[in-house]
A and B are shown apart, each in its own frame.
Chain A
Amino acid sequence: MASALINVPATAKHGDIVEIKTLMSHIMETGFRHTETGAVVPRNIITDFSCRYNGVEVFRAELFPAFSANPFLAFFTVATESGTLEFRWAGDNGFS
């Protein structure tokens, strides 16, 4: 089971710009590697990430195999109102 780390300030004043840092545990297998016998290791990566703030999408990313294992993403948003942040990772093999 994959686990995620998310770092957001617990409180912010209205209108503050807050930084959101996310870390997802995932192998991010590129699909370009071979085993000792020469077989290609099938690609297994996260391809999409999105962050919703009270249902409104504030950040979205498309990921490629060039992302490191355990993809880290840091971005900003304006603290407009109290509410929930919803994060979603989706990728190969039905990962989500």
Chain B
Amino acid sequence: MPEPHATRRQFLVVASAAALLAVPWPTLAMPDAMKAAIRDVVKGAVVRVGKVKFDVPPLVENGNTVPVTVSVTSPMTDADHVVSIHIFNEKNPQPNVGNFYVGPRAGRGQVATRIRLADTQTLTAIAKLSDGSFWSATADVVVTLAACTEEAS
């Protein structure tokens, strides 16, 4: 038998879901630690999807060394350049991977490195441009052998 509160409850559920969907950026599925780490970087600014290209192999056999490349579309002039690039992960013990500070002297808004991944997960790269805007890209990685699990001898 339907309770009188049911419709009100349903309305609240729908309303809160709509409020969450109104968030301009898909932070919904992220763990809290990752959200907090991203908040420390963007400081409440809106993060938009685009401009950033995140190259990660989709299937990784060894999580101890995963080559990643982040490149940002930017003319890299004094007036319009990439200020910093940040990489975050979902499932490592720590949400930060690295912060890279580039500038107009870089000539190209790109950085490449090798990282550890503890599990199959989604990585996020965020770039800050000189006009204060933030852009992001995500990449899904399947990891068959995880890093950080083996015992040290």
Contacts and interface: CB of A to CB of B under 8 A. Distances in A.
Interface string B86-101: 0001001110111111
A36 B108 contact: no
A35 B102 contact: no
B99 A32 contact: no
A58 interface: yes
Given A66-B115, A68-B64, A76-B108, A33 B150 contact: yes
B53 interface: no
A18 B99 CA distance: 21
A76 B103 CA distance: 10
B114 interface: yes
Interface size class of B (residues with CB under 8 A): 20 to 34
Nearest to A65: B94
Interface of A: 17-18, 29-30, 32-36, 41, 53, 56, 58-69, 71-78, 80
Interface of B: 64-66, 89, 92-94, 96-103, 105-108, 110-117, 148, 150-153
30 contacts: A17-B107, A17-B108, A29-B152, A32-B93, A33-B152, A34-B152, A35-B151, A35-B152, A36-B151, A41-B152, A61-B101, A61-B111, A64-B94, A65-B92, A66-B96, A66-B115, A66-B116, A67-B97, A68-B65, A68-B66, A68-B113, A68-B114, A68-B116, A72-B114, A74-B111, A75-B102, A75-B106, A75-B111, A76-B107, A78-B105
